[in-house]
Chains A and B, each alone.
Chain A
Amino acid sequence: MSKKTLTLMSKDKQLFNIEEHLAVQSVTIRNMVKEDGASSVIPLPRVDSETLALVIEYLNRQQAPEEDEDYVKKFVDERGEIPTLLELAQAALDLDIKKLMDAACMKVADLIKDFTLEEVREALRIENDRTPEEEKAIRDEFQWAF
């Protein structure tokens, strides 16, 4: 059987080749291949090239199935920055690669678990959108926090 290659295109129009039998670990790609053979370029409009390179690296891994759990954990551990992990999680969601998505989500969860409120907001660039009155109402609701 000859190894068929697919081409994926990131949102910044970079092209990545990957062998089809590896690419179909992504359920999204598998379905595309089933439908129309996916002979042309597969566009991934929400995935930037850096993230796609990571996804390709993951799909190309040569791990024995029994080592896979450890591998994916280590893979996300090594990319411990929250923005990278969130991009990765979103790409894995779009491509439907469940193991990778869950591992990336778990890693983000582990990181923000130990953060203070302000640190979470800062790390994820989230504005506190509550008025001081609303803040107070929440504090009253959660009295145990003090």
Chain B
Amino acid sequence: MPSTSKSKRQKPKEQQQEIQPTTNWLELPSDLMANILFRVGGFDILENVEKVCTAWQKICKDPSMWRVICIDYPDIRLIEKNLAMCKRAVDRSQGQLIDITIGDFGIDGDDELLLYIANRSSQLRRLKIKTGDTLLCKNWTEALKKFPLLEELTLYYYDISKEVVETVGSEAIAGNPQAGALPLSTPELVPKTFETRGVSSTA
């Protein structure tokens, strides 16, 4: 319950001391703290949580915290800020990024971000994009070439047709010289590889 903070503050002193007299939560094993902070999510880590104290900041700067990134709800009024945060998250991974979910940053933002990720994340295995405009990105081909380990591309799109999915698939094939070795390459794998989710008016 979010009431923890406020209601507790109001309690009389003796009751407050009863709850946890001596525990210093910073003495928790750092693995456990990292487990918790990781679950807070990239957005809130950068925005808030890592500023709590230096010990937390140290945990939050560890690249292993940023192998999986999910920043998928950018506030439309704050695209620039969210874009900057997303880039910061990618920077933090120091090339160890394996799984990223990003939201709709608008056509230019998606384009820019995709390339930004591509240039820094050769280990990437899963890319999930929740957007309507991504398919128009100029940089798809170029970006996909830079993910030699990519296993899964998921497009969360409101209304996506099989043709469009296949177009992205063939771009991926055309763009990747090692296409034969990638699951993206074989047409029969396309429906499996390119999942589409979300509200669909036509499906």
Of chain A, the residue at the smallest CB distance from B40 is A109
Residues of A within 8 A of B (CB): 80-83, 86, 89-90, 93, 101-102, 105-106, 108-117, 119-130, 138, 142, 144-145
Describe A's contact surface by its main secondary structure: helix
* Cβ of B55 to closest chain A Cβ, rounded Å: 8
| Residue contact B39 to A126, C-beta cutoff 8 Å | no
- A144 and B35 CA atoms in complex are apart in Å by 26
* Contact indicator A126/B53 (Cβ below 8 Å): yes
Partner of B51, one of A83, A90, A138, A144: A138
Listed by A's residue number, 14 A-B pairs whose Cβ atoms lie within 8 Å are A82-B4, A86-B23, A86-B28, A101-B32, A109-B38, A113-B40, A117-B48, A119-B5, A120-B52, A125-B23, A126-B52, A130-B54, A142-B46, A144-B80
Identify 15 new A-B residue pairs, CB closer than 8 A, beyond the known A109-B36, A109-B37.
A81-B4, A90-B28, A90-B32, A101-B32, A109-B38, A110-B39, A112-B49, A113-B40, A114-B2, A117-B52, A120-B48, A123-B4, A129-B55, A138-B51, A144-B80
Instruction: Knowing A89-B36, A90-B32, A142-B46, say if A125 contacts B1 (CB, 8 Å).
Output: no
Contact A105 B51 (CB under 8 A): no
Residues on the B chain within 8 Å of A81, using CB: 4, 19
Given the complex of chains A and B, what is the CA–CA distance between A83 and B5 in angstroms?
12
CB pair B39 A105 closer than 8 Å:
yes
Task: Choose among A93, A105, A120, A130 the residue that contacts B49 (Cβ–Cβ < 8 A).
Answer: A120
The answer to whether B1 and A80 touch across the interface, beta carbons within 8 angstroms, is: yes
Q: How large is the interface on B (under 10, 10 to 19, 20 to 34, 35 or more residues)?
A: 35 or more
The answer on a CB contact under 8 Å between B47 and A145 is: yes
Contact between A111 and B2, CB atoms less than 8 A apart? yes
Once bound together, how far apart are the Cα atoms of A128 and B51, in whole Å? 9
How many Å lie between the Cα of A92 and that of B12 in the bound state?
32
Expressed in whole angstroms, the Cα–Cα distance for A103 and B43 within the complex equals 20
Check if A129 sits within 8 Å of B54, measured CB to CB.
yes
Q: Is the Cβ of B4 less than 8 Å from the Cβ of A106?
A: no
A18 to B80: give the CA distance in the assembly, Å.
56
Interface residues of B in 15-31 (CB under 8 A from A): 19-20, 23-26, 28-29, 31
Report the 5 A-B pairs with minimum CB-CB distance, sorted nearest first: A109-B39, A144-B81, A119-B5, A124-B25, A83-B20
Give, as a whole number of angstroms, the nearest-CB distance from B146 to chain A.
26
